[in-house]
């Protein structure tokens, strides 16, 4: 009578192992992908905002450094607008380069 749970001394541990393995399979197929998507979304947003912050701080710091460097030969007001033109020109050149690179060789 192997099917009778009262005669099998391991029936409790076998039943527990079966339940645990079933719950683990269900969790792996349902909860795990959702957790991975949520983690990817959170870390992606964090990286985006930190990257945006770092770029903004680099632009501000570069602008301040360029203004300070240009104040030696120029007065403050002239150094400010020259620095703005230089940084604007660098950003326009970078944007133009990215616009050229976005075209694939097949579409040209």
Residue recorded with tokens 């033109």: 85
Q: Rounded to 10 degrees, what is the CA torsion of 88, 89, 90, 92?
A: 80
| pLDDT on residue 15 | 87
| pLDDT on residue 2 | 57
| pLDDT on residue 1 | 47
Residue recorded with tokens 């749970």: 5
To the question of pTM greater than 0.85 for the whole model, the response is no
In the chain, where the domains are located = 11-101
Taking only the tens of pLDDT, the chain with its 108 residues reads 456 666 777 888 888 999 999 999 998 898 888 999 999 999 999 999 999 999 999 999 999 999 999 999 999 999 999 999 999 999 999 999 999 988 767 765
Q: Distance of CA 19 to CAs 22, 26, 86, Å?
A: 5, 11, 68
């Amino acid at each position: 009578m192997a099917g009778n749970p009262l005669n099998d001394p391991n029936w409790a541990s076998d039943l527990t192992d079966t339940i645990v393995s079933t719950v683990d399979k269900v969790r792996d197929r349902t909860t795990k992908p959702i957790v991975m998507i949520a983690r990817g979304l959170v870390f992606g947003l964090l990286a985006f905002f930190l990257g945006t912050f770092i770029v903004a701080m680099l632009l501000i710091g570069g602008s301040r450094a360029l203004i300070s460097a240009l104040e030696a030969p120029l007065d403050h007001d002239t150094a400010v607008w020259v620095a703005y033109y230089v940084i604007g020109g660098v950003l326009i050149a970078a944007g133009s380069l990215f616009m050229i690179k976005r075209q694939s060789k097949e579409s040209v």
